[in-house]
Chain A
């Protein structure tokens, strides 16, 4: 399910539209994930507060979203571009890659909430493919 030229254009154009709200999107997506999929909290057992709007969720949501935005510019070689992040997730963080899909779903939901008119079916499929390709690249070094 590789990214076509059209997918990449659609993702880039949509990301341009959401760029001013990108941090907030990342924060909300992470916050949603922790509420809707409580098992994901195990990766953040050291946090005092998992709620939407907490300092930890805000900081980490922003970090993750900035890396995703960065990956929008690396769609021609996600595996190469995400190599060191993949090393990090594989050897240090050891996040089960099944969770990438979970976070991706919550990003899509957050985009639908904030951009109901722009998040058309065509944008949805392109962004879903991009997040799937990104997740695969992130899992690349796992074994």
Chain B
């Protein structure tokens, strides 16, 4: 069981309640595909991913980014049992999608950079620590079903 301080709970709820999921989802996934191009392996049917501009403008990337962020929402709403909340998603990613779990951290890092850019100075070191702890718990839960 993960222990959350009041500050961590409030910080996570606050960040996500103010977030534009569509924008942040699109930005984070696009950035991941650009900064770590091998992650494109999972999106063979997404059409034009040939360069940064194409990726940034790709509507399927935008749509999927939104899906991923709404998936994160499940963890935001179930902070006291993310492991259980993510059991199905973990099976999906391992059994059906066959995503290398190391990639979760790459997307997480891109999400952190996007949120940092949005929040600016409000993304203090303490807020960053809470956010990264949250992502680490999510990633660990997503990894759980991998044999």
Residues of A within 8 A of B (CB): 31-32, 34-36, 52, 105, 108-109, 112-114, 116, 119-122, 124-125, 128
Q: What does DSSP make chain B's interface, helix, strand, loop or mixed?
A: helix
Assess whether A109 is in contact with B34, with CB atoms less than 8 Å apart: no
Assess whether B125 is in contact with A35, with CB atoms less than 8 Å apart: yes
Q: What does DSSP make chain A's interface, helix, strand, loop or mixed?
A: helix
Assess whether B129 is in contact with A36, with CB atoms less than 8 Å apart: yes
* Nearest-neighbor residue (CB-CB) of A110 within chain B: B116
- With both chains docked as a complex, state the minimum distance between the C-beta of B38 and any C-beta of chain A, in angstroms: 10
Given the known interface contacts A36-B132, A113-B116, A116-B120, the answer about A124 and B34 at a Cβ–Cβ threshold of 8 Å is yes
Check: B128 CB closer than 8 A to any chain A CB: yes
- With both chains docked as a complex, state the minimum distance between the C-beta of A55 and any C-beta of chain B, in angstroms: 17
* Nearest-neighbor residue (CB-CB) of A129 within chain B: B35
Assess whether A121 is in contact with B31, with CB atoms less than 8 Å apart: yes
* Nearest-neighbor residue (CB-CB) of A126 within chain B: B35
Interface residues on B, range: 20 to 34
Q: Chain B contacts of A35 at CB under 8 A?
A: 125-126, 128-129
Assess whether A113 is in contact with B112, with CB atoms less than 8 Å apart: no
Residues of B within 8 A of A (CB): 30-31, 34-35, 52, 55-56, 109, 112-114, 116-121, 123, 125-126, 128-129, 132
- With both chains docked as a complex, state the minimum distance between the C-beta of B117 and any C-beta of chain A, in angstroms: 4
Interface centre among B30, B34, B128, B129 (most CB of A within 10 A): B128
Assess whether B35 is in contact with A119, with CB atoms less than 8 Å apart: no
Interface centre among B114, B117, B132 (most CB of A within 10 A): B117
- With both chains docked as a complex, state the minimum distance between the C-beta of A41 and any C-beta of chain B, in angstroms: 13
Q: Chain B contacts of A116 at CB under 8 A?
A: 117-118, 120
User: What are 26 A-B residue pairs whose CB atoms fall within 8 Å in the complex?
Assistant: A32-B128, A34-B125, A35-B125, A35-B129, A36-B128, A36-B132, A52-B125, A105-B109, A108-B113, A109-B112, A109-B116, A112-B113, A112-B114, A113-B116, A113-B117, A113-B119, A113-B120, A113-B121, A116-B117, A116-B118, A116-B120, A119-B113, A121-B55, A121-B56, A124-B35, A124-B113
Assess whether B123 is in contact with A121, with CB atoms less than 8 Å apart: no
Query: In the complex, A113 Cα to B127 Cα: how many Å?
Result: 12
Question: Can you list the 10 inter-chain pairs with the closest CB atoms, starting with the nearest?
Answer: A116-B117, A35-B125, A112-B116, A121-B34, A112-B117, A125-B35, A36-B129, A32-B125, A112-B113, A121-B31
Query: In the complex, A108 Cα to B31 Cα: how many Å?
Result: 13
Assess whether A122 is in contact with B128, with CB atoms less than 8 Å apart: no
Question: Pick the contact of A119 from B55, B117, B119, B125 — CB < 8 Å?
Answer: B117
* Nearest-neighbor residue (CB-CB) of A108 within chain B: B113
Q: Chain A contacts of B117 at CB under 8 A?
A: 112-113, 116, 119
Interface centre among B114, B120, B121, B125 (most CB of A within 10 A): B125
